[in-house]
Amino acid sequence: MVLHVSWKDLPEALDRLGLPRRVWMELSQGRILLTAADPGANCLVRSEVRSAEESVHRALTDLGLEVLSGRWADREEDAARLWVASVAYQSDEARPGLWVDALPYEPTEGEVLLRFHEEMKESGLGLELSLEEFRDAIQPNVVILSPDDLSRFALASDPACS
């Protein structure tokens, strides 16, 4: 269960719920995300604020909270944290090719190329080339988008946020 509160109401919410006066703070897309949780009670308290990190940290400690670096997330939020990896490449067609994958962790460029190479080999399109030969033949451009990148793009294209 997730309770969203104003960041200034966080101490009162923690006290009312019987949670320790401990908050995790993470900077994300120009906003500060504040979370506190009791996993045993399936309780997550969450707040966001747009302000200077130092001033929020100081204000929370002045209110008697212990402030740590990090964040709690519920299962849905964790499931939504995907990295999108893509490879633009020189194809046999008149236009370039594009391969896209999504992963629940941050991949390296090498790992993305290896996954792409393996998929092409499995589908019979890799022509039994080594990874190095494959890379040289397709002249890949690897792009990896983090969950924060994806959110930033979504916010930038949302007319309500303009």
CATH number of the domain to which 17 belongs: 3.30.720
Which domain does 145 fall in, by range? 81-161
Structure tokens at 157: 């294209």
Indicate whether 14 and 58 sit together in one domain.
yes
Q: Are 34 and 50 in contact (CB under 8 A)?
A: no
Task: Judge whether residue 9 has pLDDT over 50.
Answer: yes
Indicate whether 114 and 52 sit together in one domain.
no
Element (DSSP H or E) covering residue 107: none
pLDDT in the model for residue 31: 80
Q: What is the DSSP string of 141-160?
A: EEEEE-HHHHHHHHHHH-GG
Q: For 148-160, write each residue's pLDDT tens digit.
A: 888 777 777 756 5
- Nearest partner of 53 among 45, 63, 61, judged by Cα: 61
**% of the chain at pLDDT higher than 90:** 49
Question: Residue range 136-150: average pLDDT?
Answer: 91
pTM of the predicted protein model: 0.54
Ranges 12-21, 91-100, 132-141, 149-158: which has the least confidence:
149-158
Indicate whether 74 and 7 sit together in one domain.
yes
Task: Judge whether residue 79 has pLDDT over 90.
Answer: no
- Measured CA to CA, the distance from residue 120 to residue 78 in angstroms comes to 30
Indicate whether 144 and 121 sit together in one domain.
yes
Structure tokens at 37: 């949780």
Indicate whether 9 and 45 sit together in one domain.
yes
What's at 84, amino acid-wise?
A: V
C-alpha dihedral (70, 8, 65, 80), degrees to nearest 10: -20
Indicate whether 103 and 69 sit together in one domain.
no
Length of the chain equals 162
Indicate whether 53 and 93 sit together in one domain.
no
Structure tokens at 52: 């200077």
Tokens 């101490």: give the residue. 11
Task: Judge whether residue 162 has pLDDT over 50.
Answer: no
pLDDT in the model for residue 58: 94
Task: Judge whether residue 143 has pLDDT over 60.
Answer: yes
Confidence of residue 38 (pLDDT cuts 50, 70, 90): confident
The residues that bridge with 4 in the sheet, in sequence order, are: 46
Whole-number mean pLDDT of the chain?
86
Residue 154: how many CB atoms within 10 A of its CB?
10
Residue 117 DSSP SS3: helix
